[in-house]
Amino acid sequence: MNPDPAAFAPSVSAFESVPAVQGRFYRPIKKPITIRIDADVLHWLKRDGEGYQSRLNAILRDAMVHDLREHPSLQTANKTCTG
């Protein structure tokens, strides 16, 4: 039986004292999705060219980290999401 990878995802507090080095030690599992975004939002994301999906991911990650800091009880719920 394969363990659930979400169970091994580190909590936000585990990284608070670690300097930000993107993609060097921790590489989250990427999942392909389909999402509907307002045309003006998509245009704004794409205005700087390639990497708009990475920019969107960074924006969402910042929002997630902020939310988890504001509501620590959600960290446990986040680990159980299988998406």
Question: Per-residue pLDDT for the chain (83 aa), expressed as one digit of tens each?
Answer: 556 655 666 666 666 665 666 656 777 889 999 999 999 999 999 999 999 999 999 999 999 999 999 988 877 655 555 55
- Give how far Cα 66 sits from Cα of 25, 51, 58, Å: 21, 23, 12
pLDDT for 13: 65
Cα 39 from Cα 45, distance rounded (Å): 10
How open is the CA angle 25-55-60, to the nearest 5 degrees?
80
pLDDT for 74: 74
- Give how far Cα 75 sits from Cα of 36, 53, 70, Å: 26, 24, 10
pLDDT for 2: 58
pLDDT for 60: 96
